[in-house]
Structure 1
Amino acid sequence: MLSKHPWIISAVLAGILVAWLASGSINGNAGDEQGKKEESIAPAPIKVRVQTMHAQPVDQNISLYGRTEPNREVTLKSEVDGRVVEILKRRGEPVETGEALLKIALNDRPQLLQHARAELAQRQLEYEGASSLNTKGFQGKAEVARKKALLKESQARVAALQREISNTVISAPFAGIMLERNVEVGDYLSVGASVATIVDLDPLVVRGDVTQQDIRHLHVGQQAIMTLASGEKHVGKIRYLSSVADEETNTFRVEVALANSDGHLLGGLSVNLQIPLKQIQAIKITPALMALNEAGVIGIKWVKDGKVQFTPIDVVRSDSDGTWIRGLEEEAQVITVGQAFVREGDTVETSSDDTGDS
């Protein structure tokens, strides 16, 4: 019967097709609306923990390693030949300026001096007699000049022997410590033989080297703080700055003088030298708070108005328990947990760190 009425079949198929197309359009519109709703929902902000830190006035300084050394050091040498007959000072003992350290045998020097003095007296008389005769016209000028030359020769001989006798006693040229003594009683010394080493430890000098960037901040008379390995601190002043850099290291020598009247500070110690420059505002952090940005720069991530900020590290001073940096605001919410998961500009949700304010 349907085969006799094909139009009925066509109408049914057309109705089914229209219904199928209509259902697809409806489902498509519903999917678009769902996608738009999903796009309109913003991602949830990342949660981080922050610690409110406050800037404090900090002394910006130059830090360098130095070594203590004597103010002066001299090696005494014998100026005469002879045998050592007496030792007056031992190694390590303090000495005063002009104090005798040891004695060398006089031998026949006193007798030679007596003879030279007698000869000097004779030539003095001869010169005076020749001068008197010359004024009366009985003595020529040439003879007077010869007598005068002989007189000067005798005077020089007496002075030389007096100096030799004086040099048989070797004395300290300045107050200090006898660091070394190279001779014993009975040793024979020739001219130029090393006898002893004297050091002056007051003031004590700390020698260090500063970079080309730091030398321009320093001047003679500037205060410096020396810290020993034990933690003991002493204050001194810069007494010398090199005007020419070392050819190998391109650094400049600096010397700091420290009062050491009681001699308790020793030479040859390795020390830390801090030279204060000026006071600036800085925040103290630990290495655990440091993070890298996308460019690989080390810095600190902190939050302002809900947005992550990034400040590169600008070190003012390093202590044993942290590092002082500048560049942040006087009060900053520094990210303590989660800094590795956020970038500069991200919106974050903060919670206070239990460690408290800094």
Structure 2
Amino acid sequence: MYCFQQHRQSRPQVPWLLRGLLLGLFAWAWVACSSSGTKEADASVATADSTATDSTAVDSAMGDSAAAKERDAVPVEIAAAERGDISSYLVFSSTVETEAAVEIHPEVSGQVEAVFVEEGDQVAAGDILVTLANDQARLEDRESDVNLRHLEGSFERTEEMYKRKLISEQSYEDKLYELEQARLRRERATLALTQTEIRAPFSGVLTSRQVQVGARVAPGAKLFDLIKLDDMIARVHVPGRYMRIVKTGQIAEVESDFIEDMLFAGYVKRISPIVDPKSGTFKVTVGLRDRWEYLRPGIFVNVRVVIDTHQNTILIPKEAVVYDGSDRYVFVVADSTAQRIQLDVGYENGLVVEARSKIGDNAAVIIVGQNGLKDQARVRVISATAVPTAANTTPAPPADQG
């Protein structure tokens, strides 16, 4: 009994031991495989990270190189060359004058009764400026009128009697003489009354007033200065060698430091036919077309008489020009590179220069940053400017007055 029970209890222990052994082997194999996969994955990730790092390093190196080149490029401002007209002219200094300038005086003596205008006023021809006391003049005018009418009635009877041969020819001529004298006295009285009103002789501007209400004036006393509006001129003295070049009607241009950024049109109005032997110059009168908007008599002006014009030519800003001794150059931008071009200068003025060199339309000319720049240097454009439009109208070759 005892042996039987012992035998039954020891039989099942063999399968359980086998199961434990198999489970242990399986766990060991699973752990080994898992460890191997992890190492391969880590190796793969490390390889990918290394490749990415190398690529980033290359890109960074290329970016740093481009940035370095950008930093090394010289910053400049440019303007596009444009086509336009430019002229050659003679330049002179002068002052603005007026063709018609008069002093206004009274024709009769009298006390000033009223003044209707002030200095600086514009007046029309015939406007009353001043009136004088005219009581005496009115009385004389009425007296002369009454006397004239009486003599005219008396002469009608005298003429009828003379036709009938009732009076002598001498008596008739005496009466006719008296009548003519009365008519003259009447005209003189009327004129004296009219002259108590001082009027503007022409349209213009009063530049000074020297009369006061209540003052007594006499013939010859100046009351006003009057100038004409539409006849302003500038007189210049041109060297005699230009006598065959300057012609009546030629275009002229006028500018003044007193009125900035404005150019006034003019024309050659008159040319003196003689040369002054002392100065070797001849007088040219330039007419101005301002009509009292901006210019005033006495203003200092620069007068330019245009003698030739180049049309539809290449113009570049004057500030683009670089001087190297007697030579002049400009820098033109092409593919971020500055190309130095020697300038063949035509006409020029204070704003632009005519470029007769090989500079094309709309060429990008450097106007700021070109000083000290080398040929084929790399540049970086930071701003673009248009060529000044006013430059297309007035240029300048040298012409002195001597």
| Superposition TM-score, scaled by structure 2 size | 0.57
* C-alpha distance after superposition, 1:304-328 (max 9, x if no partner): xxxxxxxxxxx97563478879xxx
- Work out whether 1:128 is the aligned partner of 2:156: yes
Matched residue type, 1:257: G
Question: Among residues 262, 277, 282, which one is paired with 2:307 in the alignment?
Answer: 277
**Quick one: structure 1 residues 64 and 261, their matched pair in 2 at CA, closer, same or farther if it must change by over 3 Å?**
closer
Which SS does the other structure have where 2:90 is aligned? strand
Partner residue in 2 for 1:111: 139
RMSD: 3.4
1:214 maps to 2:242: yes
User: Which residue does 2:101 correspond to in 1?
Assistant: 73
The one-letter code sitting in structure 2 at the alignment partner of 1:245 is V
The reply to whether residue 224 of structure 1 matches residue 252 of structure 2 is yes
**Quick one: distance in 2 between partners of 1:156 and 1:330?**
82
Structure 2 CA distance for aligned equivalents of residues 217 and 317 of structure 1: 17
AA aligned to 2:307 is: L
> What residue in structure 1 maps to residue 337 of structure 2?
none
- Cα pair distance change 1:320/1:301, threshold 3 Å: closer
Greater helix share, 1 or 2?
Answer: 2
Q: Answer whether contact 2:264 2:290 (CA < 8 A) is retained.
A: no
Question: Which residue of 277, 281, 292 maps to 1:251?
Answer: 281
Residue equivalent to 2:177: 149
- 1:211-235 Cα offsets, whole Å, 9 max, x none, are 1112321222221111221231011
**How far does residue 283 in structure 1 lie from its aligned partner after superposition?**
10
Deviations 1:5-37 (CA, angstroms, capped at 9, x unpaired): xxxxxxxxxxxxxxxxxxxxxxxxxxxxxxxxx
Cα pair distance change 1:354/1:268, threshold 3 Å: farther
1:43-79 deviation digits (Å, cap 9, x = unpaired): xxxxxxxxxxxxx974222221221112321100110
Report how far residue 116 of structure 1 moved: 0.8
SS at match of 2:242: helix
Which of 170, 173, 178 is the equivalent residue of 2:198? 170
1:217–1:290 CA distance, 2 compared to 1 (3 A): farther
Once the two structures are superposed, the pairs formed by residues 31-50 of structure 1 within 5 Å of their partners are none
Deviation at 1:267, TM superposition (A): 1.6
**Structure 1 residues 64 and 167: alpha-carbon distance in aligned structure 2, compared to 1, 3 A threshold:** same
Q: 1:143 to 1:330 in 2, by over 3 A?
A: farther
1:264–1:321 CA distance, 2 compared to 1 (3 A): closer
Question: Kindly tell me: are residues 207 and 321 of structure 1, through their superposed partners in 2, closer, same or farther at Cα, counting changes over 3 Å?
Answer: same
Q: Unpaired segments of 5 or more residues in structure 1?
A: 1-55, 292-299, 303-314, 333-350
* In structure 2, C-alpha distance between the alignment counterparts of 1:255 and 1:157, rounded to whole Å: 47
- 1:137 is aligned to 165
Change (3 A) 1:110 1:239: same
Structure-2 change in CA distance of 1:250 and 1:128 (3 Å): farther
The 1:321/1:135 distance shift into structure 2, 3 A limit, reads: closer
Greater Rg by CA: 2
Question: What is the number of equivalent residue pairs in this alignment?
Answer: 264
1:225–1:143 distance in 2 versus 1, CA, 3 Å: same
Q: Cα distance 1:203–1:164, how it changes in 2: closer, same or farther (>3 A)?
A: same
User: Does the alignment pair 1:187 with 2:215?
Assistant: yes
Decide whether the 8 Å contact of 1:203 with 1:260 is kept in 2: no
> What code does the residue aligned with 2:308 have?
K
Aligned-pair CA distance for 1:104: 0.8
Look up the SS of the partner of 1:146 in the other structure. Answer: helix
Q: Distance in 1 between matches of 2:292 and 2:299?
A: 17
- Report the CA distance between 1:126 and its aligned residue: 2.7
1:331 deviates by 5.9
Query: Taking structure 1 as reference, are residues 155 and 221 closer, same or farther at Cα in structure 2, changes over 3 Å only?
Result: same
Report the TM-score, using the length of structure 1 for normalisation: 0.64
8 Å contact kept, 2:141–2:193: no
Work out the CA distance in 2 between the residues paired with 1:90 and 1:102: 11
Letter in 2 for 1:111: L
In structure 1, what is the Cα distance between the partners aligned to 2:99 and 2:378? 49
Aligned partner of 2:295 in structure 1 is 265
- In 1, Cα distance between equivalents of 2:315 and 2:324: 12
Tell me whether 259-268 or 130-139 shows the greater mean CA deviation.
259-268
Report if the CA contact (8 A) 1:101-1:169 is conserved. yes
- Pair 1:63–1:142, CA change in 2 (3 A): same
